[in-house]
C-alpha cells in the first residue's frame, strides 16, 4: 500500500548502478534538461559568431567552448545524480567550504573584466565565478542545518542557516552582485517556509529585504543605475534592454527566420544574459514558450516527487534547488522583457558560460539524485527511528 501511495521503487539486491539509476531517475526532467542544452547550442550558433568576429576569433569559437563546457556539465550532472543523498551532502559540504573561501578572496584576487563587479577569477584560458558554484552547495548546507533543527535535541539549525545566509548575501552585495544575492535569499526563504517557519518571520524577512534594497539604492551607484533604468517609462533604444525589447517585438509569433535576426550584432551579451532575445527574434514566441515549458516541467515534476519524500533533508534540499533553478530562469527572461531590473543572470543550460553551465549541471544532478524513486519505509519505522 505504501508503494501505491508514495510511488516508491522496490529494492533489487545486487542491481548494477546504471540500470538502477535509469529505473529510478526522473527521466522527464532529465530529457527536458538535455533539450534545454540542445536549444542553447542552437541559439549559440546564431548569437555567438558576431561576438567572435568582433574579437578576431574563429567563427564558432564560443559555440565550441559552450559544447566543451556543456559536455563537462552534463557529465557532472549524470555522475552527481547517481550519488546517494548522504554522499551528495558530504561532497556539498566540502565544496561549499571551498566556494565560500573563494568568494571571500575575490576582493583581493578577483577580476571584473571591465564590467564593474568583481565576480570572477581569471585563469588565463578561462574564468571561474565562485558564486555560481556556491548557490547550489549553500542550499544543501542550509537544508542540512534546517533538517537537524527538526530532530529531538538537535542544534539551532534554522538560526545557523540564517546567519550563514546573511553572511553570503553581504559578501555578494559587496562585489556588487545583487542578483545572485537575491537568488540565495530567495532559495533560503523557500526552504525556511517549507521547514515550517512562522508567516510573521517571513513577512519580517520581506520587510528587511525591502529596507536592504533601499539602502543599496542610496549607497550603490551600480544598483541605483539599474533600478532607474528599469523604472524609466522610455527605453533608450541604444541600450541592451532597448535592443532586446525591439528584437522580441520584431520576432512576433513565428520569428524573422533562422540567421535573419539583427539583435546579435548589437548586443554584447546576446549569447549570455540576453540569449532569450535571440530566440524570440529568430524563432518567435513559439520557441520561447517551448523553453518556458521545459523549465516548468523540470520544476513541477521535481516538486511533485519531493512531496512524496519523508526525509526532511532531502525534501528541503530538493525544494531549494528546484526553486532556485526555476526562479533564475524566470529572472533572466523577466529582465529581457523589462518585467525585472537588469541583473546579469544567465539562463540555465541555454546561455553561454563555463561556470554557469558546470554549476548548473552539478545543481540539477543533485536535484535528480534527491528526486530518484526510493523505498520510503513504513511511517511507524520512521517514527521509531526519530525516537532513537
Contact 283, 292 (CB under 8 A): no
- The reported pLDDT for the residue numbered 381 is 45
Scan for cell 511533485, then name that residue: 304
On the question of a cis peptide bond just before residue 176, with omega within 30 degrees of 0, the verdict is: yes
Span of 81-90, 319-328, 372-381 with lowest mean pLDDT: 372-381
Cα–Cα distance list, 66 to 27, 47, 87, 112 (Å): 24, 12, 29, 21
Residue whose grid cell is 510573521: 200
E strand residue ranges, 186-230: none
Round to whole Å and give the CA distance between 277 and 246: 9
**What is the CB-side half-sphere exposure of residue 92 using CA atoms within 13 A?**
30
Band the pLDDT of 72: cuts 50, 70, 90: very high
pLDDT at residue 4, as a whole number:
38
pLDDT at 239 over 60: yes
Note the pLDDT of residue 251. Answer: 79
Find which of 21-25, 139-143, 178-182 is predicted with most confidence, using mean pLDDT: 139-143
Question: What is the rounded CA–CA span in Å between residue 364 and residue 276?
Answer: 21
Binning pLDDT at 50, 70 and 90, where does residue 212 land? confident
Q: How confident is the model at residue 90 (pLDDT cuts 50, 70, 90)?
A: very high
Running DSSP on this structure, what letter comes out for residue 229?
H
The most confident of the ranges 91-100, 209-218, 329-338 is 91-100
Strand segments (E) across the chain: 121-122, 127-128
Is pLDDT at 328 greater than 90 in this prediction? yes
- Whether the predicted pLDDT of 351 surpasses 80: yes
Residue 173 has a pLDDT of 84
pLDDT in tens, 256-313: 877 777 777 777 777 778 888 888 888 989 999 999 999 999 999 999 999 988 899 9
Whether residue 1 is predicted with pLDDT greater than 50 in this model: the reply is no
Half-sphere CA count of 73, side-chain side, radius 13 A:
29
Nearest-angstrom CA–CA distance, 211 and 209: 5
Using the 8-state DSSP alphabet, how is residue 120 labeled?
B
176-187 pLDDT tens trace: 788 888 899 999
- Sign of the four-CA dihedral 375, 381, 382, 385: negative
Q: What mean pLDDT is predicted for residues 338-346?
A: 77
> What is residue 157's predicted lDDT score, i.e. its pLDDT?
87
Three-class DSSP category at 111:
strand
Residue 218 has pLDDT above 80, yes or no: no
Q: How confident is the model at residue 360 (pLDDT cuts 50, 70, 90)?
A: very high
Residues in the chain: 388
The upper half-sphere exposure of residue 216, i.e. CA atoms within 13 Å in the direction of its Cβ, equals 25
At 236 the pLDDT is: 55
Amino acid at each position: 500500500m505504501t508503494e501505491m501511495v508514495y510511488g516508491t521503487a522496490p529494492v533489487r539486491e545486487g542491481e548494477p548502478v546504471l540500470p538502477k539509476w535509469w529505473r529510478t531517475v526522473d527521466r522527464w526532467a532529465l530529457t527536458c534538461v538535455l533539450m534545454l542544452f540542445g536549444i542553447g547550442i542552437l541559439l549559440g550558433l546564431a548569437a555567438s559568431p558576431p561576438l567572435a568576429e568582433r574579437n578576431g576569433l574563429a567563427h564558432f569559437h564560443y559555440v565550441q567552448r559552450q559544447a566543451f563546457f556543456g559536455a563537462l556539465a552534463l557529465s557532472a550532472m549524470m555522475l552527481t545524480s547517481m550519488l546517494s543523498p548522504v554522499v551528495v551532502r558530504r561532497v556539498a559540504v566540502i565544496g561549499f567550504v571551498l566556494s565560500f573561501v573563494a568568494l571571500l578572496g575575490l576582493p583581493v584576487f578577483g577580476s571584473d573584466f571591465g564590467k564593474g563587479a568583481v565576480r570572477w577569477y581569471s585563469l588565463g584560458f578561462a574564468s571561474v565565478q565562485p558564486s555560481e558554484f556556491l548557490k547550489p552547495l549553500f542550499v544543501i548546507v542550509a537544508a542540512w542545518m534546517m533538517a537537524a533543527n527538526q530532530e529531538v535535541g538537535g542544534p539551532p539549525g534554522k538560526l545557523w542557516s540564517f546567519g550563514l545566509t546573511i553572511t553570503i548575501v553581504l559578501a555578494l552585495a559587496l562585489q556588487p552582485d545583487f542578483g545572485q544575492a537575491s537568488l540565495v535569499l530567495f532559495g533560503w526563504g523557500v526552504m525556511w517556509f517549507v521547514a515550517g517557519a512562522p508567516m510573521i518571520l517571513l513577512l519580517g524577512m520581506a520587510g528587511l529585504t525591502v529596507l536592504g534594497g533601499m539602502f543599496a539604492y542610496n549607497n550603490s551607484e551600480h544598483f541605483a543605475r539599474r533600478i532607474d533604468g528599469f523604472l524609466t517609462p522610455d527605453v533608450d533604444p541604444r541600450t541592451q534592454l532597448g535592443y532586446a525589447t525591439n528584437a522580441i517585438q520584431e520576432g512576433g509569433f513565428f520569428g524573422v527566420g533562422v540567421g535573419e535576426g539583427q539583435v546579435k550584432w548589437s548586443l554584447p551579451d546576446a549569447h549570455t544574459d540576453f540569449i532569450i532575445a535571440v530566440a524570440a527574434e529568430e524563432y518567435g514566441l513559439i520557441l520561447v514558450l517551448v523553453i518556458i515549458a521545459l523549465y516548468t516541467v523540470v520544476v513541477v515534476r521535481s516538486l511533485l516527487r519531493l512531496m512524496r519524500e519523508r526525509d526532511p533533508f532531502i525534501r528541503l534540499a530538493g525544494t531549494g534547488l528546484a526553486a532556485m533553478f526555476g526562479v533564475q530562469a524566470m529572472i533572466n527572461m523577466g529582465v529581457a522583457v523589462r518585467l525585472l531590473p537588469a541583473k546579469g543572470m544567465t539562463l540555465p543550460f541555454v546561455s553561454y558560460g563555463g561556470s554557469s553551465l558546470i554549476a548548473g549541471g552539478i545543481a540539477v544532478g543533485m536535484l535528480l539524485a534527491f528526486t530518484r524513486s526510493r523505498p520510503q519505509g513504513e511511517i511507524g519505522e520512521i517514527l521509531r527511528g526519530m525516537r532513537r
